[in-house]
Each structure stands twice: as structure tokens, then as C-alpha cells.
Chain A
Amino acid sequence: MVLEKLRLDGPPRRVVIVTGGSRGLGKAMAISLAEAGADICIASRTPSQLEAAAAEIKAASGRDPLVVPTNVQSRAECDALIEKTVSHFGRLDVMLNNAGIGDARGAGARIQDLEDADWHDTIEVNLYSTFYCSRAAVRQFLKQDQGGVILNVASGTALRSSPQSIGYAAAKAGVISLTKSLAAQVVGENIRVNCIVPGFVSQRPPRDEQEEAMRKQRGRFITVRRLGEAWELGPLAVFLCSDASSYVTGEAFVIDGGGLAGGIAPTGWVVSEPAEVSRG
């Protein structure tokens, strides 16, 4: 049966690292992957947030995730993240590079005012981290000699203009490019590399009615008339991390409600009917 291929409980049970896994999209994907049967390691900078997310993942799956406080800007910490995961679970099957800073320092700045440090921070957290963790994961996959999966998270801003965050958009374009080239490089070792490209997605449920109303307002400008919600990335991540996507590599899967497929007229714009179609 086809849907059994979506299970991650093996044997052997798949081990997944999710960077930026303590909140937002990372946490949502970690929960879905745990529900599909995977053992999860979540990494992020803030230990208190990690512990709270770990409790949610355990509640969803019944299994304790591993928690590794990590600054993904540091190569050494990325290497240590993979080592700790392998020493705890005994293996690694999926590297989910989700860590990113959308609201990095320098967001909204015009180029003439953008500091070197702001630019470097943005590129490091979003792109270097993906390289560091992917390299360490591939080294582990090669040791295990059983293939593996790398799943990156980019952004729709990488594919269109994003004047408010030029560094972020450039870094995420780098993530998509890395996905394609790395996929071609490691395909012979049975390692698949893909990328999720989210559009406007709410990171957490609304805190109050005011926030809900604000989101509804923003959603009016999106093709499906609403913002996406973080949990909606979960089933897509399960597909791309599991054997159900065995013939998919080097791909960027956009989940944006239809924004990138349109975007050449205001949402809801209906082209007025021409006087007549020529009947020549």
C-alpha cells in the first residue's frame, strides 16, 4: 500500500534533526514527523523554548525528543549537533535545515544603510547553517551507507523581489541553489535533497482576537484569501522526508496558497470581459 511509505517508524526508525525546531514552522514539522513515527532531535538557540517544544513533541508522539541547544552560525556547533544526535539515537536519516532569521538585524534597511555585520548575520544563519549541517549530515550518511534525506526550508522571497529584506532573499535563493546542486552531487549515494519554499505562513496560532483580525486582513491579499498556518507544512515535510517521495530530488516545493503562480495583478482582480471574442 502506498501510504505505508509515509511512515517513519521503520525498521529502522528514522532519526530526524530539525534546526530551528523550538517554534514556528520547525516545531510544526517536528510534530508531524514525530507523529509519522520518527525520532526527533530539535535544535535552536534558546534552551527554555526547546524544552517547551520537546514537551509538545512528546505529547504528540509519546516519545522523548532530543534537545540540543545550538547556534547554527557556528560550524563547530553544527558538527556537534550531528554527533550528539548520532550518539543518542545511534543513527541519522534526515537533516531538516529550517533555522533562519526572517527578521534579522537590517530588515527593512535600504542598501546604503545596511551594515556589513547585518548582511553577514543574515547570510550566515540562513545559508551557512544549511551548508554546515548538510555537510556534517552527508558525512554521517556516508558512514552509515544507507542513504539519507536533506530537506531545506527556503522562502518565496528567494524567487521574487523582496525589497524589505534583500539579504534574507539572497540567502534563501542560495539555499534553493544549494539544494539543486547538492542533490545532483549526492544522488549516487542514495541521498535525496529537496527544499520547501513557504509563502506567507503564520508561525503560531493567533494570541487574541486582534491578532486574528490582523491576519484575516493580510490574508485578503493572498490567492486563497488567507495566510498559511505552520501545521500545513507538516504533511508536506513528511512526504519529502519519507520513502513516499523516492523519485523526488533537487526540487523546491512551493507552499504559498498560489501567490507565486499569480502576482501580476491585485488579488481578486477580474479582467473585464472584452467586447466580443472575434468570430472572424
Chain B
Amino acid sequence: MAEWNRKPGYDLAGKRALVVGFGNPAGRAIALALAEAGADVAAASSTLDGDEVMEAKRVAKDVAGMGRKSLAQGWDVTLPTNVQVGLKQVIKELGHPTILVYNADAPLARPIEKVTDAEFARVQAVNQSGAFYTARSFVREFPEGEAGRLIFVSTIFAERGVEGLAAYTTAKAGMEGLSTALSQELGGRNMTSNCIATGWMDWTPGRGPDEIGANLLMRFVPMRRFGKADELAALAVLLASDAGGYLNGQVFHIDGGVSQHL
């Protein structure tokens, strides 16, 4: 009997990844894991916030320290031209990325009647429109004949309601919808699109104190703790790898079991 043509699940040697969004620790954890698996990594901030741009630079430096090629850029994902030009620059300096990780995140917790037009527009622009612009540029520039991987870092708030998160949930649900649509549109072109949905993480705004005795929310999470960025990283590597080609169109929850609560 013939043998399978098996491909490695956690080896990205020779691949190039673009990671967008370093406003939370998931961007760093995933970028470093991709590099650990052998990928060169371009790190782009999702906003021109100084702290985020600096974090993208530090991540690129740490990737270089692992012996991979890297570069850092300051992007504003709400500006489609900025995204398109930024990606062209990445291609010029690093080569065509075939892995996209979109981790831009602009949270907002506010009752709907108090959300201003500007706040709503901003939350949609960073979480949802930026995802569309980035994916569109990524596909436009995609090198023919290669396997492509789109990974959107989402949250359980995209699918489930929590008081005060109407604007944020709207935006994240839009991003998950984008991933679902692209899984179908790009599936026949050897590209996959998936979401990793985080639960209550140790950086989620509004999570309350870290002592379980003082935190009703933490006691509600079946694992009785908040998640850590490193716990997202291995799945991102699998989705990015050649062995991940049959994983497509899904939202994978990494949430300590909370989304299975009745």
C-alpha cells in the first residue's frame, strides 16, 4: 500500500509570517512561537499607539534573537492604504508572507446608550474593518501556488453576550464572519481561514482581581483561572503549518471551558 505524504504539524521552517497587533500579549506569544517553529516574522502594530509600536519592535528584535529574519512596522489598520503599502514594504524587505495572524484588538466596555459615534466607529474600524483590509491586501499580494493561512485572534465575546460589550461584540462577530466567508472563498485556492477565540485572559479588561476569593468571574470559569497568552501559541503554529490544511472555517475556543457553560 502507498504511504501518506505526511507533513509536519509544528514545523514552519522556510515560511514567512505577518503578525498584526501587539496591543495585547497574544501577538508576542504567537509571533515568538511561529519563530520557534522556524518562521521568519514581520511584526506590525495595529495602531500608532506608542506602546504598541514599541512592543512590535521588541518582538521583532526577539525574533531576530532566535535566528530568524524579522522586521517591525507601525501600522494603522483603519487606513486601507497604510495596510496595502505596509504589506508591500514587508514583501520588499522580507519576502511574501504566506501566514497572516490578525490580532488587532480594540476593546470597549460601555452600555449601549453611552457609546458615542466616535467610539463605535473606532471599535468597528480596528477589530473588523482592519481585519478586512489586512486580509484583502494579504490575498491581493499572495504568491501563486503557495499554501496560505489566515488566523484571526478573536474572543468568546464574538459569539456570546456580556452586558456592556455591544459595540465590541458587534465588531468581533464581524471579524469571525469574515473568517468564515474567507474559508469558503479561499478554500479552493489552498488557503485556510480560522479563528482562535480567547476566553477570559489574564489581560482581559474588566476581569477583576486575580485572587479567586475576591473574584466572582474567576470562580465562574470552569478552570478557575484566567488564560495565558502562551496557551494560544501552539494552536496558532498548527493552523499555520502544512499539516493544518484540513482545518478550515472554524472558531477554536481556548477559554478554560467557559463557553460551554449552560
Contact = CB atoms under 8 A, between A and B. Distances in A.
Given A224-B192, A247-B231, A258 B223 contact: no
Contacts of A180: 260
B257 interface: yes
B33 A251 contact: no
A149 to B, nearest CB: 13
A250 B222 contact: yes
B253 to A, nearest CB: 5
Interface string A225-243: 1001111101110110010
B4 A229 contact: yes
Interface in B149-193: 180, 183-184, 187-188, 190, 192
B248 A261 contact: yes
A258 B184 contact: yes
Interface in A195-248: 199, 201, 204-207, 223-225, 228-232, 234-236, 238-239, 242, 244-248
A249 to B, nearest CB: 4
Interface in B211-262: 222-224, 227-228, 230-231, 233-235, 237-238, 241, 243-250, 252-257, 259-261
Contacts of A251: 252-253, 257, 260
A201 B247 CA distance: 12
A235 B36 CA distance: 17
A260 interface: yes
B249 A184 contact: no
Contact of A257 (B8, B32, B248): B248
A204 B227 CA distance: 38
Contacts of B252: 251, 253
Contact of B37 (A3, A231, A238, A255): A3
Contact of A6 (B184, B234, B249, B261): B234
Contacts, number: 152
A262 interface: yes
A277 interface: no
A239 B235 contact: yes
A239 B238 contact: yes
Contacts of B192: 224, 258
Nearest to B262: A184
B9 interface: yes
Most buried by A among B227, B247, B253, B259: B247
B246 A255 contact: yes
A111 interface: no
Contact of B245 (A5, A232, A248): A232
Contacts of B180: 261
B255 to A, nearest CB: 7
B118 interface: no
Contacts of A28: 4
A1 interface: yes
Contacts of A183: 222, 257, 260
19 contacts: A1-B36, A187-B257, A224-B245, A229-B4, A230-B4, A234-B9, A234-B243, A239-B9, A239-B235, A244-B231, A244-B234, A247-B256, A248-B255, A249-B260, A250-B257, A256-B249, A258-B248, A261-B250, A262-B187
